[in-house]
Amino acid sequence: MRRRGLVRITAALAALTFVASCGSKGPAGSLSADAGQGHLTIGIRFDQPGLGERTLNGEFKGFDVDVAKYVANELGVSPENITWKEAQPTYRETLLTSAKVDMVVAAYTISDERKKLVDFAGPYFTLGQDLLVRLDDPSITGPQSLNGKKLCTVPNTTSAQAVKDKFAHEVALVEYPRYTDCITALLAGIVDAVTTGDVILAGYAAQNPELLRIVGKPFTNDAYGIGLRKGDPDGMAKVDAALQKMITSGAWRTSAQANLGASGYQLPSPPAITEH
């Protein structure tokens, strides 16, 4: 009798293990498995108006936030079951490789160098690099006019160095922890320009229209993607499918217009989701 009881218990435990593994809908640690538990941790920016911003009352808003919510919902996770984690450029790869977040939706430019550490779903937005300058400074007309001037950016980005390498060898590069610090330095006359994606700069210009302007001559062709941990093709395929649905349903355009249109930024067409 004891042997039969032990057999029944063992069988029941095996069945429970099987059900649990099926319920996770993916290998342990994968995006599908985490979503199968009904919760996701997503890295976004807290300080980029129009894209990812934490308001004074603690709410999160912006185009990237809407994209993250839409993807999470398609994975079966409702907004109230998302934990938002700040993803500054310096720490985006670390957040993913250390599994502190399930995905990063944070104005994350796709690059070959970053692909060595993380995977990208998408892209979900195309843009160009530009310059933000003071409204009363007519001397800066493009990256070639930055020789002898100070250009601000943040750590773990390649935008400022690209300007120095390709356009203005004598520009002085200045780094601050956040783009908001760069904006403060620009307004104070400590630096002469800030460079990053034009859609990011548009948000800051919209906050200070009487003081700042975008040069308006993008000099790169870039794309934002959703950062994922490497080695999860199933999770990537599901995120790609969610992004495609957001685009074809019209939700992409609605969110982009609501979050970015007020700045006067000319919205690009939705990008084609690439095969990975």
Q: Is residue 22 very low, low, confident or very high in pLDDT (cuts 50, 70, 90)?
A: very low
Residue 174 makes CB contacts below 8 A (sequence gap 6+) with 150, 151, 152, 153, 182, 185, 190, 191
pLDDT reading at 113 higher than 60? yes
Q: Which fold has domain 129-214?
A: D-Maltodextrin-Binding Protein; domain 2 (3.40.190)
Between 7 and 98, where is the model more confident?
98
CA 127 to chain centre: 13
pLDDT, residue 19, reads 36
Same fold across 25-126+223-263 and 129-214: yes
pLDDT digits 0-9 by tens, 137-156: 999 999 999 999 999 999 88
CATH hierarchy code of domain 25-126+223-263: 3.40.190.10
Q: Is residue 275 very low, low, confident or very high in pLDDT (cuts 50, 70, 90)?
A: low
Query: What is the domain partition of the chain in residue ranges?
Result: 25-126+223-263, 129-214
Q: What percent of the chain has pLDDT over 70?
A: 90
Two tokens at 190?
Answer: 């400590």
pLDDT digits 0-9 by tens, 153-171: 998 887 888 899 999 999 9
pLDDT reading at 124 higher than 90? yes
pLDDT reading at 12 higher than 50? no
Q: Which pTM value belongs to this model?
A: 0.86
Q: How far is CA 210 from CA 135, 183, 207, 218, in A?
A: 7, 14, 9, 22
pLDDT reading at 14 higher than 50? no
Q: Is residue 276 very low, low, confident or very high in pLDDT (cuts 50, 70, 90)?
A: low
Q: Determine phi and psi for 122, rounding to 5 degrees.
A: 110, -145
Lowest mean pLDDT among 158-162, 194-198, 217-221, 251-255: 158-162
Q: Determine the average pLDDT of the residues in 46-58.
A: 94
pLDDT reading at 209 higher than 80? yes
CA separation for the pair 108, 122 (Å, rounded) = 11
Q: What is the 3-state secondary structure (H, E, C) of 47-92?
A: EECCCEEECCCCCEECHHHHHHHHHHHHCCCCHHHEEEEECCHHHH
pLDDT, residue 38, reads 95
pLDDT reading at 176 higher than 90? yes
Two tokens at 193?
Answer: 């320009």
